[in-house]
Structure 1
Amino acid sequence: MNIVKTIALGSAGLLMAGCVSGFEGGPRDDKTVDAGFRGNKDLSQLQAGIWVDPTGCDHWIIDDGIEGYLSARLDPEGKPVCSGVAPPNTAIGPFKGADDVSDPL
């Protein structure tokens, strides 16, 4: 029974280790840097696509295979953009190709 408890305790410790944000000033403290498969890149260097939500409004989307980013597409007044560029629940553009520098649409 002690071996089961030891394995369970060790597993719990390993799981909790993933919750640590790293040492101060470390690479995980900078939330503007992507830590996905394609290396550490500033988010401004990644290409976004557009996901159209069920109501027909647009959202910027980036997916690098490990983590994804999504934000509402807003006009200069802060209102949602509902362009009709694609049917609802559809994603378009090179949002999965973080190394792709082509036009997103």
Structure 2
Amino acid sequence: MAEMMRLVPLITLGLLSACGSTTVAPNGTTGTPPLLAQARDTGWIDRKPLNQRQAAVAIDPDGCQAWIIDDGAEGYAANRRDPASGLPVCGHGTPGYVYGEPRATDFPDILPY
């Protein structure tokens, strides 16, 4: 019985270490996180590289700019950054406004504004 009691801490430690080492592999067995967004248009009707589309500039509540493109079925957004420093472009525009036309195609919106 004393021998069994000495093994209890080792068994407990082994079980607890197994709990911390479980991996979730949503994209197969690699353990990489699931892909939530892609930086390209994957639509089958109007597929076109995003850098060939006209983007609008939206001003977020903090006053920083974001590029936005809406092609009806999908929408894209990315923070606008200064090419030299890589810092966000902020302070130019009214928060909550969109400058330019975000609709990139005549494809109707699935969910209207």
Please state which band the TM-score falls in when normalised by the shorter chain: 0.5 to 0.7
Higher relative contact order (CA 8 A, sep 6+): 1
Distance 1:53 1:40 in 2: 28
Higher mean displacement: 89-98 or 62-71: 89-98
Deviation at 1:74, TM superposition (A): 0.6
What corresponds to 1:94 in structure 2?
101
Which structure 2 residue ranges, 5 or more long, are not aligned?
Answer: 1-37, 107-113
Contact map agreement 1:64 1:98 (CA 8 A) in 2: yes
One-letter identity of the residue aligned with 2:74: E
| Aligned residue-pair number | 68
Secondary structure of 1:41's match?
coil
Indicate yes or no: 2:59 matched with 1:47. no
Q: How large is the Cα RMSD of the aligned pairs? A: 2.3
Deviation at 1:51, TM superposition (A): 0.6
Higher share in strand: 1
Residue of 64, 70, 77 corresponding to 1:57: 64
* CA deviation map 1:57-105 (0-9, x unaligned): 10011011111111111112111101423x1011121221347xxxxxx
What is the TM-score with the length of structure 1 in the denominator?
0.55
What corresponds to 1:79 in structure 2?
87
Between the two proteins, what is the percent identity of the paired residues? 40
Structure 1 segments of 4+ aligned residues over 2 angstroms from their partners = 30-34
Secondary structure of 1:62's match?
strand
Which protein is bigger by CA-based radius of gyration?
A: 2
One-letter identity of the residue aligned with 1:96: R
